[in-house]
Amino acid sequence: MWRLFVLLVLALANPALSETTAATLFAAQKEPSAQRPSAIGTYAKGCAAGNVELPQDGPTWQAMRLSRHRNFGQPVTIDFLKDLSAFAVTQGWAGLYIGDIGNPRGGPMNSGHASHQMGLDVDIWQLPANRLDLSADEREELSSIPVRSSDQRSVTENWTPVHQAIMRQAALDPRVDRIFVAAAVKIEMCKTATAADTEWLQKIRPEGGHDTHFHVRLKCPRGSNMCQTQTPSVSELSKGGNGCDETLAWWVSDAYLNPKPPKNPPPPKPRKKKSTELLMSDLPPQCMGVLQSD
């Protein structure tokens, strides 16, 4: 049944659509689809119906890199950002600088991200938002700041208790599934969190990069029946731990940072398609409807 639907969609579609990359097709759509909000597929192979725009300027945020036109997400994501940025104000910042969420209709992007396809992922800058009157040009030119050292083993002097308070607040939010940060950031938070208050650290996941921003991933919202929630990616988390253990220490070990080449290298795995190479036929069939909707 599913295969039949795919074939039907492909046959009905303009033949050119089956060769152009999905990233190119989604980038060409400048407005969200006029559909009921729904996150469709997976974080790295999906799209988003009924996205809404995060206003470029808000009372407690500014959207950055406006030229990318990626300040669109599911309503739940936009609500979350309004709430978290208001919290940042209570901690002494003027608000938050919001990086990429996704395309107006989600889908793969021509640069920068493997995920961010369902309108449920957002990058938030580690640069404290001290002013909210940045011009469009300033938002192109200004860069965020690294909170992790270049040897990847520790946080820098840019890291503050306010950063930690904001990420803790995000992790405590029931809408949030996980938050990706540089491992050194999680290690620091594990050290400084109060003993009775570490459960939220379960949602903080070490990931390569993520030294100048943290990446918040929301759960599939209610009503998004075609959205697939991710299963835990860190082994100990399935046992209910907070991840402050040797698995975390591995991220700053020589075994990870300076690995010796193995004596008997395993045969290379077949190369996975990059997100920039995905075609419409790689996405759930409903994404064609999102792309072509008014």
Q: How far is the CB of 123 from Zn ion (least distance, A)?
A: 4
Contacting residue, 123, 188, 207, 211, with Zn ion by CB under 5 A: 123
Q: Which stretch binds Zn ion (CB under 5 A): 72-80, 82-90, 199-207, 211-219?
A: 211-219
Q: What is the DSSP string of 218-241?
A: EPPPTT-TTBPPPPP-SGGGGGT-
Q: How far is the CB of 240 from Zn ion (least distance, A)?
A: 26
Q: Hey, what are 39's tokens?
A: 């996150």
Compute the distance between CA of residue 40 and CA of residue 49 in angstroms, rounded to an integer: 8
Sites for Zn ion among residues 214-243 (CB under 5 A):
215
Distances in Å between the Cα of 53 and the Cα atoms of 12, 102, 105 are 30, 10, 10
The nearer residue to Zn ion, 123 or 188, going by C-beta atoms, is: 123
Number of residues counted as binding Zn ion (CB under 5 A) = 2
> What is the b/e burial string over 272-285, where b = at least 16 CB atoms within 10 angstroms of the residue's CB?
eeebbebbbbebbb
Q: How far is the CB of 74 from Zn ion (least distance, A)?
A: 15
Q: Which stretch binds Zn ion (CB under 5 A): 123-131, 156-164, 165-173, 230-238?
A: 123-131
Q: How far is the CB of 213 from Zn ion (least distance, A)?
A: 7
The nearer residue to Zn ion, 82 or 215, going by C-beta atoms, is: 215
The nearer residue to Zn ion, 45 or 215, going by C-beta atoms, is: 215
Contact in structure between 72 and 102 (CB atoms under 8 Å): yes
Per DSSP, the three-state class of 48 is strand
| List of residues contacting Zn ion (CB under 5 A) | 123, 215
